[in-house]
Structure 1
Amino acid sequence: MDGHEELAAEFEARRGRLRAIAYRMLGSAGDAEDAVQEAWLRLSRAGGAGVGNLGAWLTTVVSRICLDMLRARRELPYGEEPPERAVAAGDGPEEEAVLADSVGLALLVVLERLSPAERVAFVLHDLFAVPFERIAAITDRSLPAAKKLASRARHKVRGTSALPAAELDRHRGVVEAFLAAARGGDLGALLDVLAPDVVRRADPAVLPPGMATELRGARAVAEGTVLLRRRARFAVPALVDGRVGLVVAPRGRLLYVLRVSVEGDRVAAYEVVADPARLRGLELAVLDAPASPSVP
């Protein structure tokens, strides 16, 4: 095995971790693969010259590439996505859905709202235990500033509950029961979890033509929910303005949010928010703070 083959083998041994880092930063399996491939091209051109700790070097390079991509993405007008890359074999919607589920769709949605530097600092430190000294170098910040980036991001990710912990857990149970019934198209289960006088309001953009933007009564709301059950598979619980709600985010891209009102053990009302201006005004956070895994 020559030097180039050895370098390629060492890179491949680290590809999975690099791709995981890039995916959490970028929220797209395709973009993550592009970032990792660019890191390989840079390593290959350098031939490994001057690289001491290969793992640290690759983490730094991939993070800087992701930071540049996030900054470029921020320069696009709101709601405009960069051109879609060609989907490579093994990199289709199914694989991305699996990745999104492992990361947590709610976390991906919240990460999208961080500044590029906040996102990089949070992902590297809180999810991959990268030391702040390296994060400071990657983000071109001082050590205290790098720590502040991660702290600010952590606060945004975790959010602030408007409810006591026990009540929040109870509301979460009700919302999860509603979601399970919606996913299954189970009319009976929906009627059990909806209050008799429940109200559902929705922005017109999320509804089929001719569907009323407001429904009243458990039967009408349950039937309307069943009609839209296909979208429920992309929904996950999240903290919405301090209360338990749902975010609907196929492949990690936010489409709309359900603001849910719970009274007792039933859903008293829910509102489907899809208007971009209204979505921007919502405070979204994960219900469970992500753990910090050890670095392999």
Structure 2
Amino acid sequence: MTQPFGRVIDGKAVAAELRRDVARDVAELVASGCQPGLAVILMGIDPASQVYVRNKAKQTREVGMASFEHRLPATARQTELLSLVQQLNNDPAVHGILVQLPLPGHIDERIVLRAIDPAKDVDGFHPLNAGLLAGGGGGLVPCTPLGSMILLRSVRPGLRGAHAVVLGRSNIVGKPIAQLLLAADCTVTVAHSKTERLPDICRQADFLIAAIGRPEMIQGDWIKAGAIVIDVGINRVPTVDGKTRLVGDVAFEDARQRAFAITPVPGGVGPMTIACLLRNTLQAARSQSGGSILSSAGKSLP
């Protein structure tokens, strides 16, 4: 009997399970005398960033962690931001530091991200953590790629030997998820908007990871029958009534007719990002307190 196609991967449910695991581990760590702490720095008053930071703080407290929020005006100098980062690097109550991106134009993001202690870099963007990932692991992994891998494994636990196509080559998603897939013994093709014969390459994928940043660019007939599609894209597009809606990089309804399983937008990869941020903060706290990296939450690792 053949399995039906078009399964929708429920990112909200998987994220909720991961948060429960993290909360259980946090309680054990608190009982041993260490409460994980996450510090978030927000510059300016961007409405979307403010909502995101509020959600992070809420979920941080819900799993039993300490939440520290630092706000700077958009006009603050880079030296002020770097001074705050150094203060948090030296604070033993802070185990994870996240600088909300994007930063104002006069701030050099690369300098700021490299100033974060790699052991507290829960976004996984520091060059040392990127290098550890490329070299086979041991550091903190960027949250969105980590969440994407957990969703992929929720459908197919064994990934060995499959052909994965990653659409996108960013340092935040494309490159790190390609490294994670290689570590899982996949054959990996990295493609992007300049790749020739892109639809043909996509049709070869057992796993298609879309992180190219173009709304509904990947059409249904680009999908290999029975493939698993992880849509990382979040694009806001206008509707006929003058409002907007969120769509991914994949034409969802058409792709669903051919894919074995696919993540929706919203409700797919998005919820996993904050859940994995909490998981990374727990990992950082365990490492800094001299304990093992993860226990119950570890079952969800790629």
TM-score w.r.t. structure 1 length?
0.27
Structure with more helix by fraction: 1
Structure of greater Rg = 1
Higher-RCO chain (CA-CA 8 Å, sequence separation at least 6)? 2
Q: TM-score, normalised by structure 2?
A: 0.26
